[in-house]
Chains A and B, each alone.
Chain A
Amino acid sequence: MEIYLDHAATTYVDERVKESMDKYFSDEYGNPGSFNTVGLRAKNAMDESRETISKILNCTPQEIIFTGSGTESINLAIKGFVRANKSKGNHIITQKTEHEAVLETCHYLEKEEGLKVTYLDVDEFGLIKLDELEKEITKETILVSIMYANNEIGTVQNIKEISEICKKHKIKFHTDACQAAGYLDINVQNLGIDLMSLNGSKLYGPKGIGLLYVKKGTMLKPIIHGGGQEFGLRSGTENIPYIVGFAKALEIAQREKDVEVMRLINLRDYLINNVLENIPKTFLNGHPSSRLPNNANITFLDVEGEAIMLMMNEYGICASSGSACTSKSLDPSHVILAIGLPYEAAHGSIRFTLGKKTTKEGIDKLLKVLPGIIEYLRQVSPVNLSLKDMGK
């Protein structure tokens, strides 16, 4: 049996979610756009799901646009907003540890459409500095896009304070909340945001479904054109079983959040404290307290992350690494570099992300084998760095 500690990559689908989706494949297969009873039943299921989600987000159903993924939601939010608001300005602000979905969308718009983008630095914990955000705002600034919680190091940004600043300067605010949705407050009124991207595959829902919350009065242009579904913002026949599953997953996450968050924080801290205590030359990446309940990102000096991962994999432990050797680009994690650590620290960083099926027994198994793995790889390694070299 695997010990899966890669929940930030994706989660398994909750059995209750799977069950809720089941009948919408072959029994209730209708197209909600069809004017017949089969289509109507599908439309009802979709409307109900939208209603359910709108209550969780504390918005109206018309403010929810279903998409095919978190990445698509982010693309729609940024491209759609920038293109619809060209007359108001040509500058947006984001930050360096965003997910590629944000960074690559911004790079694209810079290159192809002449958009000006400011990428804010983060501090050693991965937080943006609010005064720097305010300093970068110009007359041309139309949008700020700052992620809610980081997918690699788990750092949670001060979303409410960022939204205050945006309001003060009459700028719209988008947040990528894909990693946060299962654990943090996603009440859009509390947060005071204008656009928020979510997806199903991080909260025990199906993959291939996302949503964008679009506050009423926020102008967007669609990026996918066709039959005009989703209030004209996302054409294509709606994916009813996935929409139903997504709503169910969000509902369960909200209901069980408080208990599960406490459980995960305890397990997470147990993992972090034990690793840092028992394995020399290790340190935690990200914020010590303002972090996702399920994220532990640890650097092991003198060893390379891929080698650690493969060793752990042999024991049935699945995690992920910021090492260049595990990335398609062969560059180490841009997030670890952005928090000011040198390349050698990025190569030796491992991300453990916990979830519903994580137990203390599983963590104990990890804690039992990990010191030996690190010790072994350090014997192989000619490198001998010190924590001081890393400013620790």
Chain B
Amino acid sequence: MNVGDVKSYDNTSWFYTDTVKDHFFNPRNLVKKDNEIEVKDFNGIGSVGSPACGDQMSVWLKIDKNETIKECRWRCFGCASAIASTSMLSVIVTENDGMKIEDAMKIKPQDINKRLDGLPTRKFHCSVLGDKALRAAINDYFRRTGQNDRMVIEGAKIIDKILKITDKDIEEAVLDGADTFEKVQQKTKVGIKDKTCIPEVEQLIRFYKEKYFG
């Protein structure tokens, strides 16, 4: 069965725009099978989210010498909005011979949303993970090419001022199962040198635990 051939049984019941629907049923640049791509051909790989939060995205990038994205492949665990957003993102960064990574890093969820002709307001948050995964993949490219100074940890706030540990690091640690301050410290080394941050770290752990594990 080719799911992409499905025609709506009536034309009134769809919740999303035609563009969202199109990208949901016919996603572009999707990695369909495990053996479909050779990981070694890709020089920027990023993954964000987790199935526990309802969304997880993986992005594989092929970036050439001119720092242009030649290929953007992906996979996504998520709702229709998340799948369509990631598909559209992969189109945006590869169309017209590819986008410079400088420009790709500036893509905002709003840009994807616009190209999808709009997601319903309460689904907008579902489009946020795609560009995060893209940036994670670009950061991975910087890491591989020894340009660590160009890595952008965006949106992250430094909590431990000595070891430069961010709230995102703490979020990741909690998602990995560290549910006490001691366990988070084991994983991240947070608060070992900068003791002043400990109360804030404890607060963040409570926040993320509540957020992800109720």
Contact A381 B76 (CB under 8 A): yes
User: Which of A47-55, A132-140, A229-237, A341-349 is the interface stretch?
Assistant: A341-349
Contacts of B32 in A (CB 8 A): 379-380
B214 at the interface (CB under 8 A from A): yes
In the bound assembly, the distance between CA atoms of A85 and B126 in angstroms comes to: 47
Contacts of B212 in A (CB 8 A): 343
Contact B51 A347 (CB under 8 A): yes
Contact A381 B30 (CB under 8 A): no
Task: Take A307-B80, A310-B80 as given contacts and tell me if A332 and B54 are in contact as well, using a CB distance cutoff of 8 Å.
Answer: yes
Using an 8 Å CB-CB cutoff, how does the interface string of A39-73 with B read, 1 for contact, 0 for none? Answer: 00000000000000000000000000000000000
Contact B9 A381 (CB under 8 A): no
B141 at the interface (CB under 8 A from A): no
In the bound assembly, the distance between CA atoms of A227 and B46 in angstroms comes to: 65
Contact B27 A380 (CB under 8 A): yes
In the bound assembly, the distance between CA atoms of A343 and B175 in angstroms comes to: 12
Min CB distance B192 to A, Å, is 31
Contact B58 A347 (CB under 8 A): no
In the bound assembly, the distance between CA atoms of A324 and B9 in angstroms comes to: 26
In the bound assembly, the distance between CA atoms of A307 and B47 in angstroms comes to: 20
Using an 8 Å CB-CB cutoff, how does the interface string of A293-331 with B read, 1 for contact, 0 for none? Answer: 000000000111111001101111000000111001011
In the bound assembly, the distance between CA atoms of A314 and B214 in angstroms comes to: 33
Contact A383 B6 (CB under 8 A): no
Min CB distance B140 to A, Å, is 15
Q: In chain B, residues 79-98, which have Cβ atoms closer than 8 Å to a Cβ of chain A?
A: 79-83
B181 at the interface (CB under 8 A from A): no
Q: Which residue of B lies closest to A385 (CB)?
A: B51
Of the listed residues B27, B53, B77, the one surrounded by the most CB atoms of chain A closer than 10 A to its CB is: B77
A376 at the interface (CB under 8 A from B): yes
In the bound assembly, the distance between CA atoms of A385 and B3 in angstroms comes to: 23
In the bound assembly, the distance between CA atoms of A343 and B177 in angstroms comes to: 13
B35 at the interface (CB under 8 A from A): no
**Count, chain B residues at interface, CB 8 A:** 43
In the bound assembly, the distance between CA atoms of A342 and B53 in angstroms comes to: 10
Task: Take A325-B54, A332-B54, A382-B57 as given contacts and tell me if A372 and B1 are in contact as well, using a CB distance cutoff of 8 Å.
Answer: yes
B78 at the interface (CB under 8 A from A): yes
Task: Take A314-B9, A372-B1 as given contacts and tell me if A382 and B75 are in contact as well, using a CB distance cutoff of 8 Å.
Answer: yes
Contacts of A324 in B (CB 8 A): 54
Which of A304, A328, A372, A385 is B78 in contact with, Cβ under 8 Å? A304
A369 at the interface (CB under 8 A from B): yes
Contact A343 B54 (CB under 8 A): yes
In the bound assembly, the distance between CA atoms of A347 and B55 in angstroms comes to: 9
Contacts of A279 in B (CB 8 A): none
Task: Take A337-B214, A343-B53 as given contacts and tell me if A316 and B9 are in contact as well, using a CB distance cutoff of 8 Å.
Answer: yes
In the bound assembly, the distance between CA atoms of A102 and B6 in angstroms comes to: 41
Contacts of A342 in B (CB 8 A): 52
In the bound assembly, the distance between CA atoms of A30 and B47 in angstroms comes to: 66
Task: Take A313-B13, A323-B54 as given contacts and tell me if A381 and B1 are in contact as well, using a CB distance cutoff of 8 Å.
Answer: no
B145 at the interface (CB under 8 A from A): no
A373 at the interface (CB under 8 A from B): yes
B33 at the interface (CB under 8 A from A): yes
Using an 8 Å CB-CB cutoff, how does the interface string of B27-40 with A read, 1 for contact, 0 for none? Answer: 10010110000000
In the bound assembly, the distance between CA atoms of A342 and B123 in angstroms comes to: 23
Task: Take A307-B80, A382-B57 as given contacts and tell me if A343 and B30 are in contact as well, using a CB distance cutoff of 8 Å.
Answer: no
Min CB distance A270 to B, Å, is 21
Contacts of A385 in B (CB 8 A): 51
Task: Take A314-B8, A315-B9 as given contacts and tell me if A344 and B75 are in contact as well, using a CB distance cutoff of 8 Å.
Answer: no
Q: Which residue of B lies closest to A324 (CB)?
A: B54
Contact A376 B54 (CB under 8 A): no
Q: Which residue of A lies closest to B13 (CB)?
A: A313
Contacts of B126 in A (CB 8 A): 325
B166 at the interface (CB under 8 A from A): no
Of the listed residues B27, B78, B81, B212, the one surrounded by the most CB atoms of chain A closer than 10 A to its CB is: B78
Task: Take A310-B15, A314-B8 as given contacts and tell me if A376 and B3 are in contact as well, using a CB distance cutoff of 8 Å.
Answer: yes
Contact A379 B79 (CB under 8 A): no
Min CB distance B91 to A, Å, is 16
In the bound assembly, the distance between CA atoms of A373 and B3 in angstroms comes to: 7
Using an 8 Å CB-CB cutoff, how does the interface string of A336-357 with B read, 1 for contact, 0 for none? Answer: 0100001110010000000000
Contact B51 A306 (CB under 8 A): no
Min CB distance B60 to A, Å, is 10
Contacts of A373 in B (CB 8 A): 3
Contacts of A302 in B (CB 8 A): 51, 77
Task: Take A337-B214, A373-B3 as given contacts and tell me if A310 and B24 are in contact as well, using a CB distance cutoff of 8 Å.
Answer: yes
Q: Which residue of A lies closest to B214 (CB)?
A: A337
Contact B76 A380 (CB under 8 A): yes
Q: Which residue of B lies closest to A368 (CB)?
A: B1
Between A and B, 6 residue pairs with Cβ closer than 8 Å are: A304-B54, A314-B8, A323-B54, A347-B54, A373-B3, A380-B32
**9 further contact pairs, Cβ within 8 A, besides A325-B123, A343-B52:** A307-B78, A316-B9, A324-B54, A343-B54, A343-B213, A344-B51, A369-B1, A376-B3, A381-B76
Chain A residues close to B by CB (< 8 Å)? 2, 302-307, 310-311, 313-316, 323-325, 328, 330-332, 337, 342-344, 347, 369, 372-373, 376, 379-383, 385
